[in-house]
Amino acid sequence: MPQIVVLTGAGISAESGVPTFRDSDGLWVGHHIDDVATPEGFERDRSLVQRFYDARRASLSGVEPNAAHRALAELEETMGEALLVVTQNIDDLHERAGSRNVIHMHGELLKARCRACGAVVPWQGPLIDEPACPLCGTHDLRPDVVWFGEMPYEMERIADALSQATHFLSVGTSGAVYPAAGFVQHARRHGARTLELNLEPSEGSHFFHESRLGPAGELVPQWAREILWS
Ligand code: APR
């Protein structure tokens, strides 16, 4: 049985209508990353940051998983824990498609973290009105997302999975942000076959054995069929 690690980025959710970060209509357009995606930005202008993530959280109710998310969920039905999805995305589209073995290395929009007691709690509504932490009552909740300068989640588990992977697939990520951008080299060093599926060549395309260009909604189901038939 192959051991597969799939790294996903904003491009896998693009066909669902979730904007990517670095494309011409991307999320960062009109925003300085330093303002909305760093701990310092949060200290400087808390309302701006809460509003930015509140809007993104609210927009999740208007989007649905696409064929790429569904193909990964269906493959997991056959492969079980031999398929691990590591996503940089903070949306919940993998879970809504049915994937269970998912690591959100950059956190999740639908969770809030209390800066006083450290609790991480499911969160659906806005944070702009500074609600109380359901556990300790302090009014100091932030989105449970990993900002630049912060440590991504579950790095040890991810490193173990990359070391054991027979196949590493990267979908819809520009390869601009480490440590995720370095996963291909880690997996390849440990013997994995590496494949990239992206709309355009990513910054790290040359690290992969193979690169296929096109929309994730077409390329991921096609790749999943190849794995099932191999
Ligand atoms: N199918 C496949 N790939 C696509 C599609 C699509 N339909 N649409 C866009 N893409 C590709 C783009 O060509 C681009 O290379 O997806 C990539 C998206 O890149 P980014 O916007 O940089 O998103 P991502 O790589 O996920 O960003 C990484 O950076 O800003 C931080 O924390 C944030 O998790 C994010 C991280």
Same domain, 192 and 81: yes
Q: For residue 132, what is the DSSP state?
A: P
Tell me if 215 CB under 6 Å of ligand 1. yes
Tell me if 211 CB under 6 Å of ligand 1. no
Same domain, 217 and 183: yes
Same domain, 211 and 175: yes
User: Model's pTM, two decimal places?
Assistant: 0.97
Same domain, 138 and 25: yes
Strand, helix or coil at 29?
Answer: coil
Q: Which distant-in-sequence residues (6+ apart) come within 8 Å of 103 by Cβ? A: 84, 85, 86, 87, 153, 154, 157, 158
**Which amino acid appears at position 29 of this protein?**
V
- Residue closest via CA to ligand 1's atom 15 equals 174
- Give the tens place of pLDDT for each residue, 134-166: 999 999 999 999 999 999 999 999 999 999 999
Strand, helix or coil at 189?
Answer: helix
- Give the tens place of pLDDT for each residue, 67-82: 999 999 999 999 999 9
Same domain, 156 and 101: yes
